[in-house]
Amino acid sequence: MRILIVDDEVIIRTGLCTVIDWKELGLELLPAASSAEEALERIPHEKPHIVLTDIRMSGMDGIELAREIKLILPDTEIVILTGYDDFSYAQQALRGGVTDYLLKTSRPEEIIKAALKAKQNIMDKWESVKQDNLQQAALRSQLLDRALSRGLQDDEEARTQLHQWFRKNGVDPIAEDASLPTARQVLFVSCSGWGEMPFADLLLGAAENILYELLPCVTLMKKDHFVLVVRYEAGVTDAAGLKNALKRVSETLKCAVFATLGTVAHDDEGLRASYRAAKDVFAYHGLLSPSGLYTLEDIQERSGSRTVCTEKEESELAAILMNDNATDLRHWVNQKVRAQLEDAAATPLSVQGYLQSMVIAGYRWLERARSAEQEMSALSALPKLEGEGRPEEEVFKLLSAIMSLFHQGLDQSKYAYIHKSIAYIRDNLHQPISLQQVAGFVHINPNHFSEVFKRETGCTYLEFVTRERMKLATDIVQSTQMKVSDIARRVGYEDIKYFTQQFKKHTGRTPSEFRQGSKD
């Protein structure tokens, strides 16, 4: 903050400059002026925040100087110093917008007090302006957000304010050029390369500032990107021109810039359509290269990748979850998600569907793995798939929580290996699974395992396996049109006739009769 001393008496000027440590007060002392005329000549360039001036000077006096300063720099604080204890002078000075009135005989501490009061007044003004600017910026952002997402058809006052803002920033033609055609485009921009918050926020803000300086635009900051409404001008802000501006951002900030461009708009409704187009393409962030400028043409051939995990993938996941291996789980999830993101046909919806399928597969495994008497209310505490972070990280965290929930439950059980063996059986009903095989999986002697298994489940190992196979077969018969022979193999029977006998023994009907009965 700068202070200028004005006095035609050299002794006073020198004294005021040397007796008080202005730097200690947080003030930069400008070279003193020996007259009001000299001060007025320098003030437009040096722009002092505080002026300390004598009233009685040869030529223009201090009161007139104060009036002239206020015309040039209205926010300047002025402190009058005079050797004349004349109240009429003080009144004139105060009417001229002077901050304080002091006698030249005032002690240094009184002058310091007056200077600090003037400094505080300026700081209060700055804070007030800052708050006003923040409030105005927030209101403009709300107005632009509303115009782009919902429209302002029924609010003429809001539309007028919006277009005044557009004109001020070169997005709309100025009033005298109102006959010129108006063309605008919406641009979504995100940046990466500076790591996580707070650096990601700093990067985004820096990129916004650069584009604001380079382009005739207004901006709207979002959580992880910002939106620009840019005036369209062939050769300047067309796709080629925007690519040059984005390249400038990338080179200046050493970052990757991903941007999507909407259609050219000639009216407010067209601007909303441009916003929707840019937003639709921006949803492909993560499916396209992390840098570049993209339009609807770049995604129109994408029809969607698969959305459901295969049986093989579910089996792989079940084995990993059963083994409680977080490293294998992370590797498996990363591999599967990355394959989806790199699929040339993938769309945001198809990827989201596949991610949900992975999570559902985890829940299905947990439902199979946990025995009926175990409490399932803990499921509600599991995290949800929000779709906001990195997809592979989100899926890993959720599947990891499912895995932990199951194995924590085992730790609290006296015969944890029985519950683990039941989960293993349910995951392997499609193939032969002997008692010795399952006992080996849980590292228990087969004879001891057989005895404890019967005591804990209420049935022999063979009875339990057969019951589980029939439960699964019943579900498949009811929910699908799969052939009986395929159902038999799906639940571990190569002999279709034997499977049909077992099915009828447990349900009272053959698979075909059971399916028909379900329809009736």
Looking at 182-191, 375-384, 434-443, 461-470, which range is the least confident one?
Answer: 375-384
The pTM of this model reads 0.63
Q: What is the mean pLDDT of residues 125-138?
A: 80
Q: What is the pLDDT of residues 238-270, one digit of tens each?
A: 899 999 999 999 999 999 999 999 999 998 899
For the domain made up of 181-298, the CATH class stated in words is: alpha beta
pLDDT band (50, 70, 90) for residue 12 = confident
Mean pLDDT across 484-504: 91
Pick from 20-24, 368-372, 418-422: least confident:
368-372
For residue range 452-472, what is the model confidence (pLDDT) as tens digits? 888 888 899 999 999 989 989
Q: Is the pLDDT of residue 420 over 90?
A: no
* Three-class secondary structure of residue 486 per DSSP: helix
Looking at per-residue pLDDT, the higher value among 94 and 109 belongs to 109
Question: What would be the CATH architecture of the domain defined by 2-125?
Answer: 3-Layer(aba) Sandwich (3.40)
pLDDT at 424: 86
Report the pLDDT value the prediction gives residue 376, as an integer from 0 to 100.
47
How far apart are the C-alpha atoms of 258 and 256, rounded to whole Å?
7
Task: State which H helix or E strand residue 348 sits in.
Answer: helix 348-369
How confident is residue 474, by pLDDT bands cut at 50, 70 and 90? very high
**How many Å apart are CA 214 and CA 211, to the nearest integer?**
5
Report the pLDDT value the prediction gives residue 518, as an integer from 0 to 100.
66
Q: Is 491 exposed, middle or buried (0-12, 13-18, 19+ CB in 10 A)?
A: buried
Bridge partner list, 3: 29, 50
CATH code for the domain defined by 414-520: 1.10.10.60
Q: 274-288, 379-393, 433-447: lowest mean pLDDT where?
A: 379-393
Matching CATH topology for 2-125 and 414-520? no
pLDDT 10s digits, 277-306: 999 999 999 899 999 999 999 999 999 999
Residue 134 carries which side chain, given as an amino acid letter?
Answer: L
Instruction: Work out the percent of the chain whose per-residue pLDDT is above 70.
Output: 90
Q: Where are the domains of the chain?
A: 2-125, 181-298, 301-412, 414-520
With bands split at pLDDT 50, 70 and 90, how would you rate the model's confidence at 384?
low
Q: What pLDDT was estimated at residue 280?
A: 95
Give the mean model confidence (pLDDT) for residues 331-356. Answer: 93
Rounded distance between C-alpha atoms, residue 466 and residue 462, angstroms: 6
**CB neighbours of residue 419 within 10 Å:** 20
Least confident of 173-177, 221-225, 351-355, 430-434: 173-177
